[in-house]
Amino acid sequence: MSRSPLWLAMLLLLSACPTFPASAADKKGPAGERVFGLAKVVQVHLTMTEKQFVALAPAGMPKFGPPGFGTPRKQPEGTHRNTFGIDLPWTQGDVTFDGKTYKNVGVRYKGNYTFLATAKSLKKSLKFDFNRHVKGQKLDGLTGLNFNCGVSDPSRAREALSYAFFRDAGVPAPRTSVAELTLTVPGKYDKELVGVYTVVETVNKGFLKTHFKDGKGMLLKPEGLQGGPAYIGSNWNLYKERYRPKDQPTDAQKKRLIDFAKLISSADDEAFAREIVAFLDVEAFLRFVAANALLANLDSYLGYGHNYFLYLIPETNKFAFIPWDLDLSLATWPAAGMPEQQVQLSIHHPHAGKNKLIDRLFAIKQHKERYLAFVKDMTATTFTKKKLLENLEHIEGALKTPMANEAKAVAARKEGRAGRGGFGMGFGGGTFGGSMPPRRFIEKRTLSVAAQLEGKAKGFEPVPIGFGFGPPPRFGPGNPAKNDR
């Protein structure tokens, strides 16, 4: 009998050895696969030194009124300034997920109303940036995560339900999951359960590459543009303040935005109808508006003109809209009216007051008909009572135990009702303006939309919303000589 070669013997030996699966922490797959899922519950632990924890505290007092109101002050380096003028500093901490610890992760508080509403609570909304201090560091392929506290939502299901509907409706939208967050600060907290959060995917280059094939386009997060994109002259600095680019745009990208705003604001009807399709993915925008309308989501592009991202797609040089911050969806934004009014929101005029982009598109027969076709199709497929309740039940099932655990932890800390704020304005506990339970919303909204599609009901048309948001008065259309400052 001939002797087997040495390499063959070794191969046979290795093939006889048992194999072991890779650990969950080392598993390769699509980014976020281990983090996100409609009914997924994840455990996350944050460890901070006392100095790092103290550094989370805001710098600057809250301010009320429209953007630009009052005396400007310099923003401290390494902070995020929210709508109320509160500077939220970045600090660091170590994040443990699925058996692996990620060191020196960027951490800060996030939110506008939600931050004020949780002033006296340990649980606040948080933003994590995994490669802010350690370049290339990712958690399950993700560079960032958002932990939303849900202070305005007693059900804690609203955001996940609404984001799921956007995705089902074909609108690029972040994924979500449920998280129980624990905190260790030596000498202060030892694996303290902070509470249950909705984890929301970050809209960044990774997200954009997934949905638009290229994440190198201009990403904007507009604020205070009630009425839609507005032309405020040729000075880019004015657009930078309102449209808030996430990175430094090129000169060509700047010009594209200004030309887009100018077309919407001042082109005649013939020019607008002819040229808008070169600037905007009209089909995608009509789908975006239809989904917001069905959700009665007025704390959005439809209302204050915020809580959305605007992306200039490199491949097409067209703008696309991405939803964001859905905690006050489902007929809950108090500035627009009571929930019982908002649940009847008009599908023909779902925006507060005038919105030039929507109004001008709706004035073109083919676009209005296409929009209504989207609404009708969604109500037959993704916005049905059956589908929405099915998603809601999955989310509620995932939330049941975490919410019970949170209630015990909050009671032990003697914080009172979870999320109660400390500003004397009725904040907290989901009572800001009243809240409609998701099941009641689903029942009433599906009936209202059906009646409107059949011509049996007109629907509720919201009036322009508070504070005078919009282009600064000195740049109004009646003051053209000052538009180019």
Which of 58-67, 104-113, 227-236 shows the lowest mean pLDDT across its residues? 58-67
Quick one: CA torsion of 97, 203, 165, 40, rounded to 10 degrees? Answer: 0
The whole-angstrom separation of Cα 354 and Cα 260 is: 18
* pLDDT, position 92: 97
Check: CB of residue 251 under 8 Å from CB of residue 236: no
Could you tell me the pLDDT band of residue 23, with boundaries at 50, 70 and 90?
very low
CB atoms within 10 A of CB 182: 18
Residue 452 is predicted with a pLDDT of: 98
Structure-token match 């007051």, residue found: 353
CA 114, CA 127: separation in Å to the nearest integer?
Answer: 13
Least confident of 143-157, 291-305, 430-444: 430-444
Residue-by-residue DSSP string for 174-219: --EEEEEEEEEETTTEEEEEEEEEEEEE--SHHHHHHHHS---SEE
Mean pLDDT for the chain overall: 86
| Model confidence band, residue 10 (pLDDT cutoffs 50, 70, 90) | very low
9: pLDDT confidence band, cut at 50, 70 and 90?
Answer: very low
The pLDDT assigned to 335 comes to 87
Tell me the pLDDT band of 334, cut-offs 50, 70 and 90. Answer: confident
Cα–Cα distance between 354 and 342 in angstroms, integer?
Answer: 17
Note the pLDDT of residue 106.
98
Q: Please give the DSSP secondary-structure letter assigned to residue 25.
A: G
- Which pLDDT score, from 0 to 100, does residue 14 have? 34
Q: Which two tokens stand for residue 128?
A: 């994590």
With bands split at pLDDT 50, 70 and 90, how would you rate the model's confidence at 2? very low
pLDDT higher for 85 or 419? 85
User: How many separate helices (H) and strands (E) can be counted in the chain?
Assistant: 14, 12
pLDDT value at residue 336: 87
What tokens were used for 245? 């680019």
Among the ranges given (2-6, 39-43, 126-130, 334-338), the one the predictor scored with the smallest mean pLDDT: 2-6
Amino acid at 364: I
Distances (CA, A) of 115 to 87, 95, 162: 11, 22, 21
pLDDT category at 71 given cuts 50, 70, 90 is low
pLDDT computed for residue 79 by the predictor: 84
93 vs 48: CA distance, rounded Å: 5
Q: Where are the domains of the chain?
A: 28-206, 213-382+458-482
Query: How distant, in Å, are the alpha carbons of 42, 94, 133 from that of 138?
Result: 17, 13, 12
Mean pLDDT of 106-120: 90
pLDDT band at 12 (very low <50, low <70, confident <90, very high): very low
Specify the pairing of strand 126-129 against strand 100-109: antiparallel
Crossing angle (nearest 10°) for helices 438-453 and 385-413: 150
- pLDDT one-digit tens code per residue, 217-240: 999 999 889 899 999 999 999 999
CA nearest to 261, candidates 298, 316, 222: 222
- pLDDT bracket for residue 82 (50, 70, 90): confident
82 versus 404: the higher-pLDDT residue is: 404
What 235-241 contacts at long range (C-beta under 8 Å, 24+ apart), as own/partner pairs, is 235/484, 235/485, 238/472, 238/475, 238/485, 241/67, 241/68
- Dist CA 78 CA 87 (whole Å): 9
How confident is the model at residue 208, as a pLDDT? 97
pLDDT tens profile 176-230: 999 999 999 999 999 999 999 999 999 999 999 999 999 999 999 998 898 999 9
Place 345 in a pLDDT band, splitting at 50, 70 and 90.
Answer: very high
* Other residues' Cβ atoms within 10 Å of the Cβ of residue 308: 21
Please identify which residue in the block is written with the tokens 């497929």. Answer: 381
Q: Is the pLDDT of residue 69 over 90?
A: no
- The pLDDT, as a whole number, for residue 466 is 58
How confident is the model at residue 120, as a pLDDT? 87
pLDDT tens column, 371-429: 999 999 999 999 999 999 999 999 999 999 999 999 999 999 998 654 443 332 333 33
Would you state the pLDDT for residue 83?
77
CA distance 481 to 397: 59
Task: Please state the rounded mean pLDDT for residues 17-28.
Answer: 40
| CB-facing half-sphere around the CA of 280: CA atoms within 13 A | 25
User: How many C-beta atoms lie closer than 10 Å to residue 416's C-beta?
Assistant: 13
Q: What pLDDT, on the 0 to 100 scale, is given for residue 63?
A: 53
Cα–Cα dist 229/428, whole Å: 32
Confidence of residue 28 (pLDDT cuts 50, 70, 90): low
Which range is least confidently modeled, 32-41, 113-122, 132-141, 385-394? 113-122
